[in-house]
Amino acid sequence: MVCASHVSSVALLVLVSPARLLSLLLGSFVLLLGAVAEAAEPIRLWHAYRGAEEEALVRVLASFDQAPVEPLAIPYDAFGSKLAAAIPLGEGPDLYIDMHERLGDYRRRKIVAPVGDALQPGVFDEVALRAVLLDGEAYAVPLSRKSVALYVNTALVSEVPPTLEGIMALAPTLPPGVFAYAYEAKKAYSHAPLLHAFGGRLLADDDSFGFVGPEAEASLRLAVQMVERGVVPANADGGLVTNLFKSGQAALAASGPWLAADLDDVVPYRVQPLPVLEATGEPLRPFLSVEAVMLSPHGAPRPEVRALARHLAGAPAAAIRQTRARTLTARTDVPIPPDDPLLAAFAQQAQVAIPMPTSPAMRSTFEPADRAIAKVLRGQAEPADALVEAQHRFDDVRRPPPPPASPWPVLLGLGVLSLWGALVLVQRARQPQLRERLRRSLPAYRYVAHAVLAVGVLVILPLAVGAATSLFAGPAGEVEYVGVANFVEILSARGGPLLATGSFYLVLLVTLLWTVVNVAFHLGLGLGLGLVLSRPLLRLRAVYRVLLIIPWAVPSYVTALAWKGMFDQQYGAITGIILALNDAFGLTLEPIAWFSSFSTAFTANAATNIWLGFPFMMVVTIGALTAVPRDVLEAAEVDGATRWQRLTRVVLPMIRPTMMPSITLGAIWTFNMFNVVFLVSGGDPDGSTDILVSEAYRWAFTREAQYGYAAAYAVLIFLLLMFTTRLLERTRGRWDRSGRGGGDD
């Protein structure tokens, strides 16, 4: 039913334009079928709104009566991948709400279509309108404008100096422990206002790296000065900026409208545009993001979908969003409520803000720029050197894809190989012993058939297709077959020195160290605790067991971030413990800057992962110990074995076969454990703590979706692990035959 009406409405669109003569007849036809389509097929709308913004959206949708609408709120982290998976299949939303800067990428992937008559002319802010144009054509309908502005704690500062230099001079007059100006100093996104005021930019018009040259260096020198003089906190992330401002430890803060939602009435504050840079006389210009309605290619042809886009971007909807969610409209005909100085301030800020470029290259600027800024702020590099290095990294990511190769050699090779395989099979099938063995294997096949089917279709097939993408390269939407060029590039370190930062070989060494350290601690702690917890007559056994699996039970995403917070040099719990020790024992230990050097950052990652992983090994040990018969242990004791002998000669050899699969898999999982590295050190300092799999993920998700390159990393990881386990099998006896069950074939 749904499908039929969908097809008919598409067919109608084809018919309507040429058949003007029959417009009367056709008109009634359209009305009739249109009504059917409306009743049958609701409009699907995806968004990542929360809280007040989501409530405002629901309210706006309530007044749309042309078709039923099914809104779906999706976590921001899954939004992009869900769009990319669903829309090319004709599934997914008819329209969705996202930031304008993704349009370039979305158009290349063909998941967004021009909006056509959904864009009402003459009512949108000039800058917002230009932001949604790609080559002169509108690909989205602007809803609202978002940028950072200056939050002022009016209890600490009554008169805000008009210039940044004035704000720096404010610092000594503030109470101790209070920062004059809090922003995410290490992030390119928050450094951008300063860079723009110096006349620099992150991305040049020709899509080359713009964050180089005297302007960029000057902006970095000023940032260093602000950090060194204690004007600006060195390591603040978004959460810390919020907490500093909320608790009165920051007089001023650069943040977006989202901070206001968090503040309630805990501090007296007002918002105004960012200050002016005295050195150039230019205002600090933040990036502007235009939140906009985008139409999917299958949604764009439906008139009621375009009507919904118009409705969402209409004046009444804009007014609702302004009053309910306090988001600044992108329209010129909707006045700002007179009683809302916050919106007025963001409107003023939007006038000087710079729309984020829509070019897909923009996304590639952030990682190298972030790393350069962090390196300079740590005092580990001069601005000029760090920026040139960042430019190299950017160019490395943006290097042209390898030339397309002819797929014939591989296809021919595959053909020959499968022919040969078929011949061998036919020949072997003639052998009577083989037939006999096959016949005897049949009962066993009945036991394994469903596992083969499930794992084959839902695990191996997707992985194999994923592996095949390693032979392709190019930006998403324009991939070409390139043969083994991706592998050649990775293994030759893309022409750079073989042990340079980020090269395959150096990252491999870090990954090996990572695996060895983690597995050793997981096994040591897990085995030790498992043995202790399996002691007979242990009191409180159940309580200990449950408390000790907690690291595993709480979602690792949040605990990994808790660990990251504990390692904060200024406010972290480890620093808190160090200071408490100093107080208690009159020591003079220094707080540790965990993410400034490889060894401490690696330790931080490893500590987190050891903590996350030991309960698994502990549970496996407890499980394995259940199979050790009590009388075996007792017999050993009667024979006069010491406790240590009993452990190493009886217990460990007995649980070894049961433990081996878990240890092997634990090692493999640790080798590929990317999210701890991602969340805790994030590769800091300077990408040195990244492991192979986190490199692979960066290529797939932060470096313009170079899936082919990421897949080549995945294939190399796979080959390495396969090779290593085979080698271990040979040297230590084959672990897949470690049991005493039937022999393998």
What is the pattern of x (binds another protein, CB under 8 A) and - over residues 683-722? ----------x--xx--x------x--xx-xxx-xx--xx
Near another protein by CB under 8 A: residue from 25, 637, 645, 732:
637
Asked whether position 639 contacts another protein by CB under 8 A, the answer is: no
Asked whether position 470 contacts another protein by CB under 8 A, the answer is: yes
Please answer whether residues 289 and 282 qualify as being in contact, where contact means their C-beta atoms are separated by less than 8 angstroms. no
Please state, in angstroms and rounded to a whole number, the distance separating the CA atoms of residues 295 and 306: 8
Nearer to another protein, 336 or 633 (CB): 633
Please state, in angstroms and rounded to a whole number, the distance separating the CA atoms of residues 502 and 690: 8
Nearer to another protein, 383 or 572 (CB): 572
- Piece of the chain touching another protein by CB under 8 A; list 213-221, 279-287, 303-311, 612-620: 612-620
Helices (H), ranges, 378-503: 383-397, 408-430, 432-455, 461-468, 485-491
What is the pattern of x (binds another protein, CB under 8 A) and - over residues 498-517? --------------------
CB of 497 to another protein, least distance (A): 26
Site for another protein in 374-413 (CB under 8 A): none
Asked whether position 622 contacts another protein by CB under 8 A, the answer is: yes
DSSP-assigned beta bridge partners for residue 287: 354
CB of 33 to another protein, least distance (A): 23
Please answer whether residues 388 and 723 qualify as being in contact, where contact means their C-beta atoms are separated by less than 8 angstroms. no
Measured in whole angstroms, the distance separating CA 248 from the mean position of its chain's CA atoms is: 31
CB of 350 to another protein, least distance (A): 16
Asked whether position 533 contacts another protein by CB under 8 A, the answer is: yes
DSSP-assigned beta bridge partners for residue 72: 46
Please state, in angstroms and rounded to a whole number, the distance separating the CA atoms of residues 526 and 667: 14
Kindly report whether the peptide bond that precedes residue 175 is cis, defined as omega within 30 degrees of 0.
Answer: no
CB of 384 to another protein, least distance (A): 31
Site for another protein in 546-565 (CB under 8 A): 546-559, 561-563, 565
Near another protein by CB under 8 A: residue from 18, 122, 400, 536:
536
Asked whether position 423 contacts another protein by CB under 8 A, the answer is: no
Site for another protein in 590-609 (CB under 8 A): 591
Asked whether position 462 contacts another protein by CB under 8 A, the answer is: yes
Nearer to another protein, 493 or 561 (CB): 561
Q: CB count, 10 Å around CB of 278? A: 15
Near another protein by CB under 8 A: residue from 135, 206, 265, 745:
745
> 171: which 2 tokens?
């610092």
Q: For the packed helices 541-548 and 598-625, what is the interaxial angle rounded to 10 degrees?
A: 140
CB of 633 to another protein, least distance (A): 5
Near another protein by CB under 8 A: residue from 388, 623, 647, 652:
623
Near another protein by CB under 8 A: residue from 12, 16, 99, 491:
99
Site for another protein in 231-270 (CB under 8 A): 238-240, 242-244, 246-247, 249, 256, 258-259, 262, 266
CB of 703 to another protein, least distance (A): 12
Stated length of the chain = 745
Count interface residues toward another protein (CB under 8 A). 162
Near another protein by CB under 8 A: residue from 395, 665, 727, 732:
665
Please state, in angstroms and rounded to a whole number, the distance separating the CA atoms of residues 342 and 149: 10
Residue pointed to by tokens 């969402």:
312
Please state, in angstroms and rounded to a whole number, the distance separating the CA atoms of residues 690 and 687: 6
Give one DSSP letter per residue of 318-342, joined into a string. Answer: HHHIIIII--EESBSSSPPPTT-HH
Please state, in angstroms and rounded to a whole number, the distance separating the CA atoms of residues 572 and 390: 29
Near another protein by CB under 8 A: residue from 492, 626, 645, 702:
626
Please state, in angstroms and rounded to a whole number, the distance separating the CA atoms of residues 201 and 195: 6
- Piece of the chain touching another protein by CB under 8 A; list 133-141, 273-281, 502-510, 664-672: 664-672
Near another protein by CB under 8 A: residue from 7, 465, 499, 513:
465
Near another protein by CB under 8 A: residue from 224, 529, 650, 676:
529
Asked whether position 297 contacts another protein by CB under 8 A, the answer is: no
Q: Is 587 exposed, middle or buried (0-12, 13-18, 19+ CB in 10 A)?
A: exposed
Asked whether position 149 contacts another protein by CB under 8 A, the answer is: no
Torsions phi, psi for 129 (to 5 deg): -65, -45
Please answer whether residues 185 and 244 qualify as being in contact, where contact means their C-beta atoms are separated by less than 8 angstroms. no
Please state, in angstroms and rounded to a whole number, the distance separating the CA atoms of residues 405 and 483: 6
Nearer to another protein, 463 or 493 (CB): 463
Please answer whether residues 604 and 567 qualify as being in contact, where contact means their C-beta atoms are separated by less than 8 angstroms. yes
Question: Nearest 5 degrees, angle CA 139-CA 142-CA 145?
Answer: 130
Residue pointed to by tokens 């971030």:
561
Contact partners, residue 556, CB within 8 Å, separation at least 6: 612, 675, 676
Please answer whether residues 601 and 681 qualify as being in contact, where contact means their C-beta atoms are separated by less than 8 angstroms. yes
Site for another protein in 107-126 (CB under 8 A): none
Nearer to another protein, 15 or 632 (CB): 632
Site for another protein in 19-58 (CB under 8 A): 44, 48, 50, 58
For the chain, counts of helices (H) and of strands (E) = 32, 17
- Piece of the chain touching another protein by CB under 8 A; list 64-72, 372-380, 402-410, 509-517: 64-72
Asked whether position 661 contacts another protein by CB under 8 A, the answer is: yes
- Piece of the chain touching another protein by CB under 8 A; list 276-284, 388-396, 397-405, 461-469: 461-469
E strand or H helix that includes residue 259: helix 257-263
Site for another protein in 68-87 (CB under 8 A): 68, 70, 72-78, 81-82, 84-86
Nearer to another protein, 25 or 589 (CB): 589
Near another protein by CB under 8 A: residue from 29, 366, 481, 544:
544
Helices (H), ranges, 534-597: 541-548, 550-553, 556-566, 573-585
| Coil vs helix vs strand at 397 | helix
Asked whether position 463 contacts another protein by CB under 8 A, the answer is: yes
Nearer to another protein, 229 or 726 (CB): 726
Going from the C-alpha of 698 to that of each of 207, 597, 713, the distances in angstroms are 20, 21, 11
CB of 713 to another protein, least distance (A): 7
Site for another protein in 438-457 (CB under 8 A): 438, 440-441, 443-445, 447-448, 450-452, 454-455, 457
Asked whether position 478 contacts another protein by CB under 8 A, the answer is: no
